[in-house]
Structure 1
Amino acid sequence: MFAADAQPADYPTVKALEFIAKRLEEETAGRLAMRIYAGAQLGRERDTLEITVFGGLDVNRVNTAPLNPIAEETLVPALPFVFRSIDHMRAAVDGAPGQKILDALRPKGLVGLCYYDSGARSFYNAKRPVLTPDDLGGMKIRVQNSDLYVSMVEALGANATPMSFAEVYQGLIQGVIDGAENNWPSYETTRHFEAAPYYSRTEHIMAPEVLVMSLRRWEKLSEDDQELFRRIARESVPVMRDIWDARVEKSKEIVMAGGIELVDPVDKAPFQEKMQPVYDRFVSSKLRPLVEEIQAMEVPGV
């Protein structure tokens, strides 16, 4: 089988795919094998996802964003503040709500296997500490080319500026944008912390990654092999998360040593209160029960 991941070879999701490939070969004595193409060798996620739906690619690790036009249920875990914490997010996607979202992919030609972490996104900028939404007022904040992200930032009173991720550092240096939002490893590895030293731990979005298989390829597997692949995929989740958690801590240490000003904790309530227009726009009557199920979940320690 052939698997794609747009992330570089040392990224935690790629390491998880390597775990799956190794276990597949071990448990089938080489009868099943998987070749991994990392670093966007086969194209951008939106492109490889389309190929996967049509059966030209067997396995694919993608973010929820390119899945949104395929199955609207995948929009739910990308909603701002739908999760209270990383533990809440993991419990939700590993549980019944997450399975409902994965099940929604099957009629679209994809088999959802499991979720990987993509971190908690927070705001950072070059101007001032952000303690409340008012502090974001008037700032030009880079966002992904996503209506949801644009709506979220504008609801907080900032000016949403869609921009390629590769252009963010230069944009910060030149003053084209005042800030952006992302997780700790992205903030660190891109050196954005040098240009935007005010980091506020809002953790407003915790959208996970999703591992999918082409339904056409899935149906060619025996029932035993399907169960084997699903089990190994799920076993790869804690492997990925251990690597991810270690990477997050390392990135925190690097940026803190670099002299950033960290606002932590942040009172999230004022930010959450601003999200009603976003939910009104993006949460349909079909999605509302799923959102409420996630929000009502009781997670120990959360």
Structure 2
Amino acid sequence: MRNKIRKILCVVLCVGLIAGMTTGCSGTKQASGGKKIIRVALSQSETHPEYTGMEKFKEYVEEKLGDKYEVQIYPNELLGSQTKAIELTQTGAIDFVVVGTPNLEIFADVYEVFSMPYLFTSQKAYYAAMNDSDYMENVYESTDETGLRVVTWFDVGTRNFYAKKPINTPDDLKGLKMRVQQSPASVKMANAFGAAASPMSFGEVYTAIQQGVIDGAENNELALTDNKHGEVAKYYSYTMHQMIPDVLIANLKFLNGLSEEERQVFYDAAEVASETERDAWTTEVEKAKKTAEEDMGVTFIYPDISLFKEKVSNVQNEMLDANPDIRDLYDHIQLYNKQYADTKEEK
């Protein structure tokens, strides 16, 4: 029922957004008092750290430019799946959208590197690489020709498998239909583990597990609670196979249409949002684990990760051979992996 309601709301809102395109050259509608409405779409709920971060984004923009802009946030895929929301951002019907980097692979194949299994060896290496703004700016600009520009990143933790049955070794994944993100690399990874990869929109996962269309999925701990997946999948296994950032994408035409001062406000607001989200992440993960375990009956499993790494040991080289555009970023990340080689992951 909730998926039907979401789809109805999505259709109504999207029709309204498309109709709003006729009100201005970039689709920006006017709020009361002549302010321009800035629309932000994300797939997460109002309790997710990303939503908290975007609330700070809204506060910052309206504090600095409140006489000109009103920021409206649409969570829970209200404006459609991440793919659909990106398309609306391209047209200017949406000004900003938060998505996972696999959704950008079709716009700039350098983003495929983030779907590589065990790309980062620790959270410290991950943070250091992503916070290397001088380098990452070149990556963010790679989608300019498509009308999109990444302005910051969000930490969404490590991705792990969860299912209706325990997963202690890769053998336990054999034959299981597991939802993965809509990325060729993620599909290849899941298949290498022995699972049957099933790419689908995040908003469809709960019902798919509930109805037996799939046996489980892979995501961070907040999916268990924020998205209620712990109601239908009772075993969460720390395979820690990926650290895939989410990113905040802007419509490039909108950014270029701002004055230099206004553009800086939006970039500063994005940085505030990113810092707020990352500060909240660890706390929210611990809350989610406690809720999932005590209230939802989820069992957390800590397998031998080396067994899983062995299964996908060839995937990195295959990806590098197939897509030379990821080589430079991959090598850059390895510098940080070496710098933080002695760092141990916390579970």
TM-score by length of 2: 0.76
Paired residue for 2:24? none
Contact 2:45 2:226 in 1 (8 A): no
Any idea what SS the aligned residue of 1:82 has? coil
Question: Structure 1 199/47 Cα, relative in aligned 2: closer, same or farther at 3 Å?
Answer: closer
Instruction: Return the alpha-carbon distance in structure 2 between the equivalents of residues 170 and 61 of structure 1.
Output: 23
* Shift in Å, 1:236: 1.6
Q: Which amino acid aligns with 1:47?
A: K
Give the letter for the 1:152 counterpart: M
Deviation at 1:154, TM superposition (A): 1.1
- Residue of structure 1 aligned with 2:193, choices 127, 147, 156: 156
Q: Are residues 267 and 293 of structure 1, via their aligned partners in 2, closer, same or farther at CA, if it must alter by over 3 Å?
A: farther
Deviation at 1:287, TM superposition (A): 0.9
- Secondary structure at 1:9 match in 2: coil
Partner of 1:234: 271
Distance change >3 Å, CA 270–CA 288, structure 1 → 2 = farther
What is the aligned partner in structure 2 of residue 183 from structure 1? 220
Q: Relative to structure 2, which stretch is displaced further, 199-208 or 162-171?
A: 162-171
Aligned to 2:118, which of 81, 87, 111? 81
Any gaps of 5 or more consecutive residues in structure 1? Answer: none
Deviation at residue 249 of structure 1 after TM alignment: 0.8
The alignment of Structure 1 onto Structure 2 pairs a total of residues equal to 300
Is 1:140 the counterpart of 2:140? The answer is no
Contact 2:130 2:136 in 1 (8 A): yes
Going from structure 1 to structure 2, the CA distance change for 1:201 and 1:23 (only over 3 Å counts) comes to same
Structure 2 counterparts to residues 262-301 of structure 1, below 5 A: 262-264=300-302, 266-283=303-320, 284-297=323-336, 298-299=339-340, 301=343
191-200 or 241-250, larger mean C-alpha shift: 191-200
Q: 1:168 to 1:213 in 2, by over 3 A?
A: closer
SS in 1 for 2:165: coil
SS in 2 for 1:296: helix
What is the DSSP-based 3-state SS (H/G/I as helix, E as strand, rest coil) of the residue aligned with 1:127? coil
Instruction: Report matched runs for 1:201-240 at 5 Å.
Output: 201-240=238-277
What letter is aligned with 2:148?
L
- % same residue: 34
1:55 and 1:168, CA in 2 relative to 1: closer, same or farther beyond 3 A?
closer
Moved more, 143-152 or 232-241: 143-152
The answer to whether the Cα contact below 8 Å between 1:124 and 1:197 also exists between their aligned partners in 2 is yes
Q: Which of 113, 117, 136 pairs up with 2:155?
A: 117
Distance in 2 (CA, whole Å) between partners of 1:205 and 1:117 is 12
SS in 1 for 2:324: coil
* TM-score, length-scaled by structure 1: 0.87
Q: Cα deviations across residues 240-292 of structure 1 (Å, max 9, x unaligned)? A: 1223322211111122325444322x432332233244334433122112112
2:44 maps to 7
Unaligned runs of 5+ in 2: 1-37
SS of the aligned residue for 1:252 comes to helix
Q: Is the 8 A contact 1:114 1:211 kept in 2?
A: yes
CA RMSD of aligned residues (A): 2.6
- 8 A contact 2:167–2:173 mirrored in 1: no
- Secondary structure in structure 2 of the residue aligned to 1:8: coil
